[in-house]
Amino acid sequence: MQAKKIIALVAHDNRKIDLVGWVEYNWRSLLKHDLVCTGTTGKLVSETIERKRSTEGGAGAPESSIRLLKSGPLGGDQQLGALIAEGGVDAVIFFWDPMSPQPHDVDVKALLRIAVLYNIPMACNRSTADFLISSPLFDKPYVPLVKDYSAYIQRKL
Protein backbone atom coordinates (compact mmCIF):
# COMPACT_ATOMS: atom_id res chain seq x y z
CA MET A 1 0.00 0.00 0.00
CA GLN A 2 1.43 3.35 -1.02
CA ALA A 3 0.99 6.55 0.97
CA LYS A 4 -1.63 7.58 -1.59
CA LYS A 5 -4.44 5.08 -1.11
CA ILE A 6 -7.29 3.89 -3.27
CA ILE A 7 -10.36 4.30 -1.08
CA ALA A 8 -13.71 2.76 -1.92
CA LEU A 9 -16.78 4.72 -0.82
CA VAL A 10 -20.13 2.93 -0.80
CA ALA A 11 -23.47 3.70 0.85
CA HIS A 12 -26.91 2.17 0.83
CA ASP A 13 -29.75 4.55 -0.03
CA ASN A 14 -30.72 5.24 3.58
CA ARG A 15 -27.10 6.01 4.48
CA LYS A 16 -26.06 8.21 1.54
CA ILE A 17 -26.79 11.41 3.50
CA ASP A 18 -24.57 10.12 6.32
CA LEU A 19 -21.72 9.39 3.89
CA VAL A 20 -22.11 12.81 2.25
CA GLY A 21 -21.81 14.40 5.71
CA TRP A 22 -18.67 12.38 6.39
CA VAL A 23 -17.19 13.38 3.01
CA GLU A 24 -18.00 17.05 3.72
CA TYR A 25 -16.06 16.80 6.97
CA ASN A 26 -13.10 14.86 5.49
CA TRP A 27 -12.94 16.19 1.92
CA ARG A 28 -9.45 17.67 2.25
CA SER A 29 -8.04 14.36 3.51
CA LEU A 30 -9.84 12.46 0.77
CA LEU A 31 -8.33 14.68 -1.95
CA LYS A 32 -4.92 13.19 -1.15
CA HIS A 33 -6.15 9.80 -2.32
CA ASP A 34 -7.89 8.18 -5.28
CA LEU A 35 -11.52 7.25 -4.78
CA VAL A 36 -13.64 4.51 -6.26
CA CYS A 37 -17.39 4.62 -5.69
CA THR A 38 -20.47 2.70 -6.67
CA GLY A 39 -23.24 4.34 -8.72
CA THR A 40 -25.18 7.20 -7.19
CA THR A 41 -22.84 7.34 -4.21
CA GLY A 42 -19.99 8.33 -6.53
CA LYS A 43 -22.01 11.13 -8.08
CA LEU A 44 -22.91 12.47 -4.63
CA VAL A 45 -19.29 12.22 -3.44
CA SER A 46 -18.03 14.03 -6.54
CA GLU A 47 -20.62 16.81 -6.20
CA THR A 48 -19.85 17.19 -2.49
CA ILE A 49 -16.10 17.46 -3.01
CA GLU A 50 -16.47 19.95 -5.86
CA ARG A 51 -18.92 22.04 -3.82
CA LYS A 52 -16.51 22.09 -0.86
CA ARG A 53 -13.60 23.03 -3.13
CA SER A 54 -15.49 25.97 -4.58
CA THR A 55 -16.96 27.26 -1.30
CA GLU A 56 -14.00 26.64 1.01
CA GLY A 57 -11.14 27.64 -1.21
CA GLY A 58 -9.81 24.37 -2.48
CA ALA A 59 -7.46 26.17 -4.86
CA GLY A 60 -4.11 24.48 -4.86
CA ALA A 61 -5.62 21.26 -3.53
CA PRO A 62 -5.07 18.24 -5.75
CA GLU A 63 -7.80 17.30 -8.19
CA SER A 64 -9.93 14.48 -6.89
CA SER A 65 -9.76 11.26 -8.86
CA ILE A 66 -13.07 9.44 -8.59
CA ARG A 67 -13.72 6.22 -10.48
CA LEU A 68 -17.39 5.42 -10.82
CA LEU A 69 -18.59 1.82 -10.83
CA LYS A 70 -22.09 0.56 -11.51
CA SER A 71 -24.81 0.89 -8.91
CA GLY A 72 -24.54 -1.80 -6.21
CA PRO A 73 -27.63 -3.77 -7.27
CA LEU A 74 -26.51 -3.59 -10.91
CA GLY A 75 -23.12 -5.17 -10.21
CA GLY A 76 -21.15 -2.36 -8.56
CA ASP A 77 -20.60 -4.39 -5.38
CA GLN A 78 -19.22 -7.23 -7.47
CA GLN A 79 -17.02 -4.85 -9.46
CA LEU A 80 -15.64 -3.52 -6.20
CA GLY A 81 -15.04 -7.06 -4.92
CA ALA A 82 -13.08 -7.84 -8.08
CA LEU A 83 -10.96 -4.70 -7.59
CA ILE A 84 -10.19 -5.79 -4.02
CA ALA A 85 -9.19 -9.29 -5.19
CA GLU A 86 -6.89 -7.72 -7.82
CA GLY A 87 -5.21 -5.46 -5.25
CA GLY A 88 -6.89 -2.32 -6.57
CA VAL A 89 -8.41 -1.09 -3.29
CA ASP A 90 -6.60 -0.14 -0.08
CA ALA A 91 -9.54 0.73 2.21
CA VAL A 92 -13.33 0.52 2.14
CA ILE A 93 -15.77 2.96 3.70
CA PHE A 94 -19.18 1.27 3.38
CA PHE A 95 -22.07 2.95 5.15
CA TRP A 96 -24.51 0.06 4.96
CA ASP A 97 -28.03 0.03 6.27
CA PRO A 98 -28.54 -2.89 8.67
CA MET A 99 -32.25 -2.03 9.12
CA SER A 100 -33.49 -2.24 5.53
CA PRO A 101 -33.57 -5.43 3.50
CA GLN A 102 -31.47 -5.08 0.37
CA PRO A 103 -32.33 -6.93 -2.83
CA HIS A 104 -28.63 -7.59 -3.33
CA ASP A 105 -27.76 -8.72 0.22
CA VAL A 106 -25.75 -11.66 -1.11
CA ASP A 107 -23.56 -9.23 -3.08
CA VAL A 108 -23.05 -7.07 0.01
CA LYS A 109 -22.09 -10.13 2.06
CA ALA A 110 -19.66 -11.20 -0.66
CA LEU A 111 -18.10 -7.71 -0.69
CA LEU A 112 -17.64 -7.73 3.09
CA ARG A 113 -16.19 -11.26 2.91
CA ILE A 114 -13.65 -10.41 0.19
CA ALA A 115 -12.51 -7.29 2.08
CA VAL A 116 -11.90 -9.39 5.19
CA LEU A 117 -10.23 -12.15 3.16
CA TYR A 118 -7.70 -9.67 1.71
CA ASN A 119 -7.24 -7.84 5.03
CA ILE A 120 -8.55 -4.54 3.68
CA PRO A 121 -9.33 -1.91 6.34
CA MET A 122 -13.08 -1.44 6.28
CA ALA A 123 -15.43 0.93 8.06
CA CYS A 124 -19.16 0.25 8.08
CA ASN A 125 -20.21 3.25 10.16
CA ARG A 126 -19.13 6.82 10.77
CA SER A 127 -17.24 6.17 14.01
CA THR A 128 -15.07 3.51 12.42
CA ALA A 129 -14.57 5.67 9.32
CA ASP A 130 -13.43 8.53 11.58
CA PHE A 131 -10.94 6.26 13.33
CA LEU A 132 -9.69 4.88 10.01
CA ILE A 133 -9.11 8.22 8.26
CA SER A 134 -7.50 9.76 11.35
CA SER A 135 -5.06 6.89 11.84
CA PRO A 136 -1.38 7.87 11.50
CA LEU A 137 -1.07 4.93 9.07
CA PHE A 138 -3.64 6.37 6.68
CA ASP A 139 -1.26 8.69 4.84
CA LYS A 140 1.81 6.46 5.04
CA PRO A 141 2.94 3.41 3.11
CA TYR A 142 1.67 0.25 4.77
CA VAL A 143 2.07 -3.45 4.07
CA PRO A 144 -0.94 -5.42 5.32
CA LEU A 145 -0.41 -9.04 6.21
CA VAL A 146 -2.53 -11.21 3.96
CA LYS A 147 -3.15 -14.74 5.13
CA ASP A 148 -2.01 -17.45 2.73
CA TYR A 149 -5.06 -19.60 2.05
CA SER A 150 -3.35 -21.92 -0.45
CA ALA A 151 -3.14 -24.80 2.03
CA TYR A 152 -6.85 -24.39 2.80
CA ILE A 153 -7.69 -24.46 -0.89
CA GLN A 154 -5.54 -27.57 -1.47
CA ARG A 155 -7.38 -29.42 1.32
CA LYS A 156 -10.70 -28.65 -0.32
CA LEU A 157 -9.58 -30.11 -3.65
- What residues are annotated to the active site? 77
CB atoms within 10 A of CB 112: 17
The torsion angles phi and psi of 41, rounded to 5 degrees, stand at -55, -45
User: Rounded distance, CA 27 to CA 21, Å?
Assistant: 10
User: Rounded distance, CA 109 to CA 75, Å?
Assistant: 13
Angle, CA 47 vertex, CA 45 and CA 48 arms, to 5°: 65
Helix crossing, 39-55 with 16-30: angle to 10°?
50
DSSP 37: E
Residues whose CB falls within 8 Å of the CB of residue 139, separated by 6 or more in sequence, listed in order: 3, 29, 32
- HSE-up (13 A, CA, CB side) for residue 143: 0
